[in-house]
Amino acid sequence: MVKRVEVKRRRLGRTNLEVSEIGFGAWGIGGQMWRGSDDASSRAALARAFELGINFVDSALAYGDGHSERLIGEVIRRRAETIIVATKVPPKNWRWPARGDIPLREVFPRDYVLKCADASRRNLGRDTLDLEQFHVWSPAWVGESEWRDTVAELKASGRARFVGISVNDHEPASVISALHTGLIDSVQVIYNIFDQSPEDELFPVCQALDIGVIARVPFDEGSLTGHITPQTKFELGDWRNFYFKGQRKQEAWARVERLRRDLGAGEPLAQTALRFCLSHPAVSSVIPGMRRREHVEENARASAGGPLPAATLELLRQYRWLRNYYE
């Protein structure tokens, strides 16, 4: 058994919540779009995460139609630790990513957002959500009074302590105008060795405004663990069949193999990928998906490593690779 490790904590911006710098990404335990796990394994993974000092979980109402939230609620009710849970309101039109030509009333109307927050509270067994996030975003909605009033009501009604935005895939700058309203407490964004674009505009704004940053997809949906090869086959119904369709597995694998050669012998690539995210001072927590105990134990170790050396970061800068496999 892996001994307890001290997963370090960081401040989630102006919320002043102290969250573990390695968080538990809970999309996979919702089932449906992921294959290869079950509820018993998910419960064991969550329990192990809390044993190892992870106190931050990121879920969404859309993950298994609330199944992820219900599992989290079931496990945390048995624990003495204080666990901080973030969740998300799905777009009413069920379209990811958001499109700028679709009006707010079709995606996040007030009554719908409040109803979703109430459903998440029931699923989690909590009177108040720690962090409620909009699961998609369009900058076209910033000036909408209904959106601003909805954010205010989420907090005033006691449904949520804090409100954040989960940014569209590979569009980090699209949320900046919303951050300047003063209504948003945190932002969740894709950030990894391949997609380093949040560093360009978003992170400086977050640091200036004291906005918490949750880094998602640190492994590029698996390629940056080094375990996906051109021969990898995903189970029927696993959404990664789409993400890595065509020649994408070959493309990603070739780049990862070069990266591993350049890094040389040392820690597992997955830990380097997590430490890359945590090396930027804007990042509050990184949330790799975890469905099994062994995932939890491997990821938790990355906290002990601290920021990467400057020479390693300089090497990784060369691996910036902007492309969109979500299309």
* C-beta pairs of 7-10 under 8 Å, 24+ apart in sequence: 7/52, 7/53, 7/54, 7/300, 7/303, 8/303, 9/55, 10/283, 10/284, 10/285
Is-cis flag, bond preceding 109, omega within 30?
no
- pLDDT category of residue 291 using cuts at 50, 70 and 90: confident
Q: Is the pLDDT of residue 5 over 90?
A: no
Mean pLDDT of 176-186: 98
Share of the chain above pLDDT 70, in %: 96
Asked which of 7-11, 38-42, 123-127, 135-139 is least confident by mean pLDDT, the reply is 38-42
Q: Which of 125, 132, 126, 110 is nearest to 15 (CA)?
A: 132
Mapping DSSP to helix (H, G, I), strand (E, B) and coil, where does residue 228 land? Answer: coil
Residue, of 169 and 2, whose pLDDT is higher: 169
Question: Nearest 5°: phi and psi at 278?
Answer: -75, -10
- pLDDT given at position 1: 43
Q: CA 306, CA 76: separation in Å to the nearest integer?
A: 28
* C-beta separation of 192 from 220 below 8 A: yes
Q: How far is CA 285 from CA 126, 145, 293, in A?
A: 22, 31, 19
Asked which of 108-112, 195-199, 292-296 is least confident by mean pLDDT, the reply is 292-296
- pLDDT given at position 51: 94
Asked which of 2-11, 90-99, 109-118 is least confident by mean pLDDT, the reply is 2-11
Mean pLDDT of 79-100: 93
Residue 20 CA neighbour count, 13 Å, CB half: 33
Beta bridge partners of 286: 22, 215
- pLDDT given at position 2: 45
Q: Is the pLDDT of residue 9 over 80?
A: yes
Q: Which of 275, 191, 216, 212 is nearest to 58 (CA)?
A: 216
Q: Is the pLDDT of residue 35 over 90?
A: no
What single string gives the DSSP state of each residue in 19-59? EESB-EE-SGGG-SS--S--HHHHHHHHHHHHHTT--EEE-
- pLDDT given at position 265: 84
The per-residue pLDDT for range 195-228, each reduced to its tens digit, is: 999 999 999 999 999 999 999 999 999 999 999 9
The per-residue pLDDT for range 44-75, each reduced to its tens digit, is: 999 999 999 999 999 999 999 999 999 999 99
- pLDDT category of residue 229 using cuts at 50, 70 and 90: very high
- pLDDT given at position 37: 67
The per-residue pLDDT for range 252-288, each reduced to its tens digit, is: 999 999 999 999 988 999 999 999 999 999 999 999 9
Report the mean per-residue pLDDT for the chain.
94
Question: Nearest 5°: phi and psi at 164?
Answer: -135, 180
Which residue's entry shows tokens 């380093």? 196
Domains in the chain with CATH codes? 9-317 (3.20.20.100)
Q: CA 114, CA 171: separation in Å to the nearest integer?
A: 26
Asked which of 83-92, 192-201, 269-278, 289-298 is least confident by mean pLDDT, the reply is 289-298
Query: Cα–chain-centroid distance for residue 1?
Result: 27
